[in-house]
Chain A
Amino acid sequence: AQKITQTQPGMFVQEKEAVTLDCTYDTSDPSYGLFWYKQPSSGEMIFLIYQGSYDQQNATEGRYSLNFQKARKSANLVISASQLGDSAMYFCAMSGGNQFYFGTGTSLTVIP
Protein backbone atom coordinates (compact mmCIF):
# COMPACT_ATOMS: atom_id res chain seq x y z
CA ALA A 1 0.00 0.00 0.00
CA GLN A 2 1.15 3.53 -0.69
CA LYS A 3 0.40 6.32 1.70
CA ILE A 4 1.45 9.72 2.89
CA THR A 5 1.52 10.73 6.57
CA GLN A 6 1.51 14.28 7.87
CA THR A 7 1.49 14.19 11.68
CA GLN A 8 1.19 17.94 12.35
CA PRO A 9 -2.42 19.09 12.04
CA GLY A 10 -1.45 22.67 12.87
CA MET A 11 1.73 24.70 13.13
CA PHE A 12 2.51 28.27 14.17
CA VAL A 13 5.58 30.26 13.14
CA GLN A 14 6.71 33.79 13.77
CA GLU A 15 7.03 36.00 10.72
CA LYS A 16 10.56 35.91 9.19
CA GLU A 17 11.38 32.64 10.98
CA ALA A 18 11.90 29.27 9.27
CA VAL A 19 9.47 26.36 9.70
CA THR A 20 9.61 22.65 8.85
CA LEU A 21 6.51 20.70 7.88
CA ASP A 22 6.85 16.95 8.27
CA CYS A 23 5.93 14.30 5.74
CA THR A 24 6.64 10.56 5.68
CA TYR A 25 5.66 8.18 2.94
CA ASP A 26 5.36 4.47 2.38
CA THR A 27 5.92 2.81 -0.97
CA SER A 28 7.51 -0.31 -2.40
CA ASP A 29 8.02 1.26 -5.83
CA PRO A 30 11.63 2.16 -6.63
CA SER A 31 10.49 5.09 -8.76
CA TYR A 32 8.22 7.74 -7.31
CA GLY A 33 7.85 11.49 -7.00
CA LEU A 34 7.20 13.66 -3.98
CA PHE A 35 5.35 16.98 -4.14
CA TRP A 36 4.27 19.76 -1.85
CA TYR A 37 1.18 21.85 -2.54
CA LYS A 38 -0.22 24.91 -0.77
CA GLN A 39 -3.95 25.45 -0.40
CA PRO A 40 -4.92 28.94 0.81
CA SER A 41 -8.36 29.63 2.22
CA SER A 42 -9.51 30.47 -1.32
CA GLY A 43 -9.30 26.74 -2.06
CA GLU A 44 -6.99 26.52 -5.06
CA MET A 45 -4.07 24.08 -4.92
CA ILE A 46 -0.72 25.66 -5.72
CA PHE A 47 2.35 23.58 -6.62
CA LEU A 48 5.42 24.42 -4.54
CA ILE A 49 8.19 21.89 -5.07
CA TYR A 50 9.01 18.45 -6.51
CA GLN A 51 11.57 15.74 -5.62
CA GLY A 52 12.16 12.61 -7.67
CA SER A 53 13.14 9.40 -5.90
CA TYR A 54 16.38 9.18 -7.88
CA ASP A 55 17.36 12.82 -7.39
CA GLN A 56 20.62 13.10 -5.48
CA GLN A 57 20.21 16.69 -4.40
CA ASN A 58 17.44 18.13 -2.28
CA ALA A 59 15.04 20.26 -4.31
CA THR A 60 14.86 24.02 -3.73
CA GLU A 61 12.47 26.63 -5.12
CA GLY A 62 13.05 30.11 -3.75
CA ARG A 63 12.13 30.07 -0.05
CA TYR A 64 11.02 26.43 -0.24
CA SER A 65 13.33 23.46 0.13
CA LEU A 66 12.56 19.78 0.43
CA ASN A 67 14.59 17.80 2.96
CA PHE A 68 14.59 14.36 1.31
CA GLN A 69 15.80 11.47 3.47
CA LYS A 70 15.21 8.38 1.38
CA ALA A 71 16.26 5.82 3.99
CA ARG A 72 13.83 7.33 6.50
CA LYS A 73 11.14 7.77 3.80
CA SER A 74 10.67 11.38 4.75
CA ALA A 75 10.20 14.48 2.60
CA ASN A 76 9.92 17.47 4.89
CA LEU A 77 9.18 20.95 3.54
CA VAL A 78 11.27 23.81 4.89
CA ILE A 79 9.97 27.34 4.44
CA SER A 80 12.56 30.00 5.17
CA ALA A 81 11.78 33.60 6.17
CA SER A 82 8.05 32.99 6.67
CA GLN A 83 5.64 35.64 5.41
CA LEU A 84 2.06 36.37 6.42
CA GLY A 85 0.95 35.14 2.99
CA ASP A 86 2.35 31.70 3.80
CA SER A 87 -0.60 31.03 6.13
CA ALA A 88 -2.44 28.14 4.44
CA MET A 89 -2.90 24.38 4.36
CA TYR A 90 0.11 22.46 3.08
CA PHE A 91 -0.21 19.04 1.51
CA CYS A 92 2.49 16.49 0.86
CA ALA A 93 1.79 14.17 -2.07
CA MET A 94 3.37 11.22 -3.83
CA SER A 95 3.10 9.87 -7.36
CA GLY A 96 3.81 6.29 -8.28
CA GLY A 97 2.25 3.46 -10.27
CA ASN A 98 -0.30 5.69 -12.03
CA GLN A 99 -1.59 6.77 -8.65
CA PHE A 100 -1.30 10.07 -6.82
CA TYR A 101 -1.70 10.23 -3.03
CA PHE A 102 -2.15 13.28 -0.81
CA GLY A 103 -1.61 13.51 2.93
CA THR A 104 -4.14 15.00 5.32
CA GLY A 105 -2.38 18.35 5.38
CA THR A 106 -0.83 20.72 7.90
CA SER A 107 -2.39 24.09 8.66
CA LEU A 108 0.32 26.74 8.95
CA THR A 109 -0.33 30.06 10.65
CA VAL A 110 2.26 32.83 10.42
CA ILE A 111 2.15 35.20 13.38
CA PRO A 112 3.15 38.85 12.84
Chain B
Amino acid sequence: EAGVAQSPRYKIIEKRQSVAFWCNPISGHATLYWYQQILGQGPKLLIQFQNNGVVDDSQLPKDRFSAERLKGVDSTLKIQPAKLEDSAVYLCASSPGQGAYEQYFGPGTRLTVT
Protein backbone atom coordinates (compact mmCIF):
# COMPACT_ATOMS: atom_id res chain seq x y z
CA GLU B 1 0.00 0.00 0.00
CA ALA B 2 1.43 3.37 -1.01
CA GLY B 3 1.84 5.95 1.74
CA VAL B 4 0.97 9.63 1.78
CA ALA B 5 2.86 11.46 -0.95
CA GLN B 6 3.91 15.09 -0.75
CA SER B 7 5.75 17.39 -3.09
CA PRO B 8 7.98 19.22 -3.26
CA ARG B 9 10.18 17.99 -0.41
CA TYR B 10 12.03 21.28 -0.12
CA LYS B 11 11.24 24.81 -1.21
CA ILE B 12 13.08 28.09 -0.76
CA ILE B 13 11.30 31.34 -1.63
CA GLU B 14 11.62 35.01 -0.85
CA LYS B 15 9.12 36.80 1.34
CA ARG B 16 6.04 38.05 -0.46
CA GLN B 17 6.30 35.26 -3.05
CA SER B 18 3.69 32.55 -3.33
CA VAL B 19 4.12 28.80 -2.93
CA ALA B 20 1.96 25.69 -3.24
CA PHE B 21 2.28 22.26 -1.72
CA TRP B 22 0.64 19.09 -2.98
CA CYS B 23 -0.55 16.03 -1.08
CA ASN B 24 -1.87 12.68 -2.28
CA PRO B 25 -3.38 10.69 0.61
CA ILE B 26 -3.61 6.95 1.03
CA SER B 27 -6.22 5.54 -1.32
CA GLY B 28 -9.64 5.36 0.30
CA HIS B 29 -8.82 7.66 3.21
CA ALA B 30 -11.68 10.09 3.67
CA THR B 31 -9.98 12.48 6.07
CA LEU B 32 -7.01 14.67 5.16
CA TYR B 33 -5.06 17.01 7.41
CA TRP B 34 -2.51 19.76 6.83
CA TYR B 35 -0.16 20.65 9.67
CA GLN B 36 2.50 23.29 10.16
CA GLN B 37 5.51 22.23 12.23
CA ILE B 38 7.86 25.04 13.19
CA LEU B 39 11.36 23.95 14.25
CA GLY B 40 11.36 22.76 17.86
CA GLN B 41 7.57 22.61 18.16
CA GLY B 42 4.84 20.05 17.74
CA PRO B 43 2.69 20.06 14.60
CA LYS B 44 -0.17 22.54 14.52
CA LEU B 45 -3.32 21.58 12.65
CA LEU B 46 -4.13 24.09 9.92
CA ILE B 47 -7.07 22.46 8.16
CA GLN B 48 -8.98 19.19 8.13
CA PHE B 49 -11.00 17.84 5.20
CA GLN B 50 -13.60 15.11 5.25
CA ASN B 51 -13.86 13.97 1.62
CA ASN B 52 -13.88 17.34 -0.21
CA GLY B 53 -15.50 19.35 2.57
CA VAL B 54 -13.74 21.40 5.23
CA VAL B 55 -14.29 20.07 8.78
CA ASP B 56 -12.14 22.62 10.59
CA ASP B 57 -9.95 25.48 9.44
CA SER B 58 -10.00 27.56 12.60
CA GLN B 59 -6.19 27.77 12.79
CA LEU B 60 -5.61 28.52 9.11
CA PRO B 61 -4.43 32.14 8.55
CA LYS B 62 -7.00 32.77 5.87
CA ASP B 63 -5.58 36.12 4.79
CA ARG B 64 -2.63 34.31 3.24
CA PHE B 65 -3.24 30.56 3.37
CA SER B 66 -5.74 28.62 1.30
CA ALA B 67 -6.34 24.92 0.78
CA GLU B 68 -8.54 22.75 -1.35
CA ARG B 69 -9.15 19.06 -1.80
CA LEU B 70 -10.02 18.19 -5.36
CA LYS B 71 -12.71 15.53 -5.77
CA GLY B 72 -12.03 14.32 -2.24
CA VAL B 73 -8.59 12.94 -3.12
CA ASP B 74 -5.53 15.17 -3.72
CA SER B 75 -5.09 18.41 -1.84
CA THR B 76 -3.10 21.59 -2.30
CA LEU B 77 -2.07 24.13 0.32
CA LYS B 78 -1.10 27.60 -0.89
CA ILE B 79 0.58 30.53 0.80
CA GLN B 80 0.32 33.96 -0.80
CA PRO B 81 2.18 36.12 0.08
CA ALA B 82 4.71 34.26 2.24
CA LYS B 83 6.21 35.76 5.38
CA LEU B 84 9.43 34.89 7.17
CA GLU B 85 7.46 33.25 9.99
CA ASP B 86 5.97 30.76 7.53
CA SER B 87 9.30 28.91 7.45
CA ALA B 88 8.37 25.45 8.70
CA VAL B 89 7.73 21.87 7.66
CA TYR B 90 4.26 21.36 6.22
CA LEU B 91 2.94 17.91 6.93
CA CYS B 92 0.04 16.21 5.25
CA ALA B 93 -1.71 13.28 6.90
CA SER B 94 -4.67 11.08 6.07
CA SER B 95 -6.89 8.69 7.97
CA PRO B 96 -9.86 6.44 7.23
CA GLY B 97 -12.09 8.68 9.34
CA GLN B 98 -12.12 11.40 11.96
CA GLY B 99 -11.20 11.33 15.63
CA ALA B 100 -10.25 7.89 16.84
CA TYR B 101 -8.32 6.83 13.76
CA GLU B 102 -4.56 6.94 13.58
CA GLN B 103 -3.18 9.38 11.07
CA TYR B 104 -0.66 8.41 8.42
CA PHE B 105 1.80 11.18 7.70
CA GLY B 106 3.66 12.08 4.56
CA PRO B 107 7.36 13.03 4.54
CA GLY B 108 6.58 16.76 4.70
CA THR B 109 7.67 19.81 2.73
CA ARG B 110 10.36 21.95 4.29
CA LEU B 111 9.71 25.60 3.43
CA THR B 112 12.33 28.28 3.93
CA VAL B 113 11.27 31.90 3.44
CA THR B 114 14.18 34.34 3.07
Contacts and interface: CB of A to CB of B under 8 A. Distances in A.
Contacts of B45: 99-101
Contacts of A50: 100, 102
Contacts of A4: 42
Interface in B93-114: 93, 98-100, 102-108
Interface stretch (A11-19, A40-48, A64-72, A75-83): A40-48
Contacts of A98: 48, 55-56, 98
B91 A45 contact: yes
B80 to A, nearest CB: 25
Give the interface size class of chain A: 20 to 34
B108 A47 contact: no
Nearest to B55: A98
Interface in B53-96: 55-56, 58, 89, 91, 93
Contacts of A35: 102
B103 A104 contact: no
Given A33-B100, A45-B91, A52-B100, A100 B105 contact: no
Given A50-B100, A50-B102, A100-B48, A45 B41 contact: no
Contacts of B105: 37, 44-46
A44 B42 contact: no
Interface string A2-43: 001000000000000000000000000000010101000001
Contacts of A37: 105
A99 B56 contact: yes
A95 interface: yes
A35 B98 CA distance: 13
B16 interface: no
Given A98-B55, A102-B43, A47 B104 contact: yes
A65 B66 CA distance: 38
B33 interface: yes
Nearest to A89: B42
A104 B33 contact: no
Given A52-B100, A98-B55, A99-B56, 8 more contacts: A33-B100, A37-B105, A91-B42, A95-B100, A98-B48, A100-B33, A102-B43, A102-B44
